[in-house]
A and B are shown apart, each in its own frame.
Chain A
Amino acid sequence: MVSRRQLLTGLLATGMVPRVTWADVGNPAFLSAARDQSGAYALYGLSHTGARLFRVDLPSRGHSGAAHPFRPEAVAFARRPGTFAMVLNCAAGTVTAQIEAPAGRHFYGHGAFSLDGSRLYTTENDYDAARGRVGIWDAQNGYVRIGEVSSGGVGPHEMLRLPGQDVFAVANGGIETHPEMGRQMLNIPFMRPNLSYLSADGDLLGQVELPEDFRKNSIRHLAAASDGQIAFAMQWHGSNETHPPLLGLHRLGQQAPLLISAPEDRQRQMQGYAGSVAMNANGSLVAVSSPRGGVLHLFSAAEAAFERAEFLEDICGLGPSGLGVFSTSGTGHVARVEAGALSPLRHHPVNWDNHLTALPQS
């Protein structure tokens, strides 16, 4: 556990009164990786209205990012099975550090910062042993590796920090892969995904699995509400003749997760694949996207009930936006979906990549 004193010294060390903050880069609401028309890859800052605030080059296709809680600093992860992540100074548009996965590990493309911003956590594959790991990096000293802990399962994908506390939720997708065999899945008949909660030091605080019938539902992506409610999105690797739920809700300490599905004829639109998940600011609305189906499903969190679908080609990235959610698509579209309707915000001449990273708002 991080003590109050450690927390305070951590804050002091990073500059309690930071010289440069996210406000200095225009208070972006989101980060997203994208490919532009020339085929180059970059990380972008986007405002709440979808305006482009900054752009930092990436050497290859990105996947997702992690945002420092107050420095305008972001970590952009390469697409799985990448072995690098870039630390970007979003104010200067420069790369301040490059993180390399240690030998025998690759990144999964997601990570999270500690509450005080002193540590970065990354989901990793110890592929020869087929064990999921969480790498811990010192964000105050050039991102040197401090250590690693078990992710609580196989194939950890997204991890996030619960708002206001140093507790991390990790989506252990359950799928064994090895970089020498691309993205081939090596253990589908035996896969066993879980949602794990870790302390800042890697202690397993809680873990839930799925019912036996849904064991082939890989838990991949996460969203958290301010009260600690977790929404998780899944990717189905079982029969394509069934359309199982792809969204779950859980709270640390609860027994079983609550799995939610749209009515069958709607659920099939998702094609067994949820790409991203987001909750609105007060946690009342949950959204999952399926780029394969070109569809967004909206659910009421309180009633765990399907509300409606919106269709957008190649939609994937999602983030909170007031009482609604914000979305990006591989076609370059940026939109906002509120309870009532979908409003297109802007179109950029880029292919927005899978995920949006929501930034702390001052």
Chain B
Amino acid sequence: MRHVLAIAFLILPLPVLAGPVDDVLDHHILPRLERLASETALLSTVAEQHCDGPSALLQAAFNRSVDAWIGGSHLRFGPSEEENRAFALAFWPDSRGLTPRSLTVLLTQEDPIGLDPVAYREMSIAARGFYALEFLIFDPDISTSGSEAYRCVLIQTVAADIAYTSMEIYDDWVSRYADLMRNAGENDRYQSEDEAVRALLGALSTGLEFTADMRLGRPLGTFDRPQPQRAEMRRSERSLANVRESIAALGELAVLLAGENDPLSANLSIAFARAISRADIIDDPDFSGVAMPGQRVRIEALQRQVRDLRELVNTQLAPELGVAAGFNSLDGD
């Protein structure tokens, strides 16, 4: 019997059991967070020279940084969860309007905390991060409120704070967290490779859910009561761009997770590419079209497609990765 097995092992190619964790780290997480750190460092440098809202250079640097953030915003575990870092970069949705309110207070009172990037780390997260910076650069009221000199320094402070937080996230991944995932099974955080895979799959699935429910669902509201004013980053006309960017990043993660299962990885690539082309035919950068039936249909169709992507991930990719979908464990209530 032992001989038979030994021969079988000699003849049959051994299945490659290397999991997708290394690939996801090397081709998705680390490069994307490195890009976030370098783009935001550049943003901070540009802000030092060009701190007035209408500056084309500042706006371009803002856009590149937000692209980088959106492309890694689904990685909400580990380093980005420590010390509220992800919230410090991205406090959205802001259902109570805390961001404009706290910025207005800073600008009108010229609070000295706005002049000091180190002190600013203690500031309420509502006044920090990309969404606060968007108000300072693009909002007609906030971008003209208070004195020009204070506003300029506040923009520099917020940009420097964003760059610092982004660098911390990247550093924490490089110096610590990536190894915890790579060496799953040899540390307490990830006691098996399955746990690491589950965390990555969770990021993919909740990332898709966030894009469908929030980036698309918030402005869609209901047919009778559309909510265009709730669209993410509508002031910088990035609402659609953010959706597109997030689908592209999540598609990359999905395909890497599918690993060497070629049919599945082809299925996923096609499905994500279809969703991206559906986003491309929408000519409505700030989603103000949710209130117009013709445009609304297209935005709703995109939302359905993102939900279908999540379904595809949960029903095809998750079982492939051996992640059981329990009736209650998935329910979350």
Instruction: Determine if B188 and A268 form an interchain contact, defined as CB atoms under 8 angstroms apart.
Output: yes
Contact A330 B333 (CB under 8 A): no
Q: Given contacts A314-B328, A351-B327, A353-B327, are A189 and B84 in contact (CB under 8 A)?
A: yes
B95:A292 contact, CB within 8 angstroms = no
Q: How far is the CB of B191 from chain A (nearest CB, A)?
A: 8
Complexed CA–CA distance, A220 and B331 (Å): 14
A79 located at the interface, meaning its Cβ lies under 8 Å from any Cβ of chain B in the complex: yes
A-B pairs under 8 A by CB, number: 91
Does B87 reach chain A (CB closer than 8 Å)?
Answer: yes
Is A189 touching B333 in the complex (CB atoms < 8 A)? no
B91/A180 in contact, CB under 8 A? no
Shortest Cβ distance from A78 into chain B, in angstroms? 11
The residue from B213, B327, B331, B333 contacting A181, defined by CB atoms under 8 A apart: B213
Most chain A CB within a 10 A radius of its CB, from B125, B329, B332? B329
B146 interfacial contact with A, CB 8 Å: no
CB contact between A354 and one of B218, B324, B328 (< 8 Å): that residue: B328
CB-based nearest B residue for A186: B95
> B214 contacts A184, CB within 8 Å?
yes
Q: Are B327 and A182 in contact (CB under 8 A)?
A: no
Give the residue of B93, B189, B199, B331 whose beta carbon is less than 8 angstroms from that of A291: B331
Known contacts A180-B221, A316-B328, A330-B328, A109 near B95 by CB under 8 Å: no
Query: Any chain B CB within 8 A of the CB of A308?
Result: no
Cβ B95 vs Cβ A330 within 8 A: no
Contact with B along A331-362 (1 / 0, CB 8 A): 10000000000000000000111100000000
Nearest chain-A residue to B98 (Cβ)? Answer: A190
A290 to B180, CA, bound (A): 24
Chain B residues lying within 8 Å of A141, measured Cβ to Cβ, are none
The answer to whether A240 and B221 touch (CB under 8 A), given A189-B91, A314-B328, A330-B326, is no
Q: How far is the CA of A79 from the CA of B84 in the complex (A)?
A: 30
Smallest CB–CB gap between A337 and chain B, Å?
Answer: 17
Q: How far is the CB of A70 from chain B (nearest CB, A)?
A: 29
B329, A182: Cβ atoms under 8 Å?
Answer: no
Contact with A along B82-93 (1 / 0, CB 8 A): 101001000101
CA of A139 to CA of B264 in the docked complex: distance in angstroms? Answer: 53
Q: Across the interface, do B82 and A241 meet the contact criterion of CB distance under 8 Å?
A: yes
Restricting to A142-201, which residues have a CB under 8 Å from any CB of B?
A: 157, 176, 178, 180-184, 186-189
Q: Determine whether A106 belongs to the interface, using a CB cutoff of 8 Å to chain B.
A: no
Contact B221 A189 (CB under 8 A): no
Q: Is the CB of B78 within 8 A of A241?
A: yes
Quick one: CB contact mask for A195-220 with B, threshold 8 Å, 1 for yes? 00000000000000000000000001
**Residues of chain B with a CB closer than 8 A to A80's CB:** 333
For chain B, residues 314 to 329, give those with C-beta under 8 angstroms from any C-beta of chain A: 324, 326-329
Q: Is the CB of B188 within 8 A of A265?
A: yes
Does any Cβ of B come within 8 Å of A238's Cβ?
Answer: yes
Chain A contributes a number of interface residues (CB within 8 A of B) equal to: 41
| Contact indicator B93/A186 (Cβ below 8 Å) | yes
In contact, B217 and A181 (Cβ under 8 angstroms): yes
B95 interface neighbour in A187, A265, A268, A353, Cβ under 8 Å: A187
Contacts of A316 in B (CB 8 A): 328
Using Cβ atoms and an 8 Å threshold, which residues of chain A touch B188? 265, 268
A353 touching B328, Cβ below 8 Å: yes
Known A-B contacts A187-B95, A189-B87, A239-B82; the reply to A180 vs B218 at CB < 8 A is yes
Chain B 206-235, CB-CB to A under 8 Å as 1, else 0, gives 000110111001101110000100000000
How close is A218's CB to chain B, nearest CB, in angstroms?
Answer: 10
- Please, how many angstroms separate the alpha-carbon atoms of A273 and B84 in the complex? 20
A35 close to chain B: CB less than 8 A: yes
What is the minimal beta-carbon distance from B308 to any residue of chain A, in angstroms? 15
- Whether B81 pairs with A238 at a CB distance below 8 angstroms is yes
The chain A residue sitting closest to B213, CB to CB, is A182
**Is A180 in contact with B220, judged by CB distance below 8 angstroms?**
yes
A-side contacts of B227, CB under 8 Å: 180
- Indicate whether A309 reaches chain B with its CB closer than 8 angstroms: no
Whole-angstrom CA separation of A353 from B77 in the bound complex:
28
Whether B329 and A330, one on each chain, are in contact in the complex, defined by CB atoms closer than 8 angstroms, is yes
A313 at the interface (CB under 8 A from B): yes
Residues of A near B87 (CB, < 8 A) are 188-189
Nearest CB on B from A216, distance (A): 10
Contact present for A240 and B81 (CB under 8 Å): yes
B327 touching A330, Cβ below 8 Å:
yes
Q: Is A244 an interface residue (CB 8 A)?
A: no
A313 vs B329: C-alpha distance in the bound complex, in angstroms? 9
Chain B residues within an 8 Å CB radius of A354: 328, 331, 333
Q: How far is the CA of A220 from the CA of B217 in the complex (A)?
A: 26
A109 to chain B: closest CB distance in Å?
7
A189 and B125 contacting across the interface, CB-CB below 8 Å:
yes
**A63 close to chain B: CB less than 8 A:** yes
With A184-B210, A241-B189, A291-B326 as contacts: A63 and B333 at CB distance below 8 Å: yes
Neighbour of A35 across the interface among B81, B91, B327, B333, CB < 8 A: B327
A37 to chain B, nearest CB (A): 12
Inter-chain contact B214/A181, CB cutoff 8 Å: yes
Q: Apart from A241-B78, A353-B331, what 14 extra A-B contacts exist at CB < 8 Å?
A: A35-B327, A79-B331, A109-B333, A182-B209, A183-B213, A183-B332, A183-B333, A189-B87, A238-B81, A241-B81, A291-B328, A291-B331, A315-B328, A330-B329
Q: Provide 7 A-B residue pairs closer than 8 Å at the C-beta atoms, listed in order of the A residue.
A: A176-B95, A184-B213, A240-B77, A240-B199, A241-B82, A265-B188, A330-B329
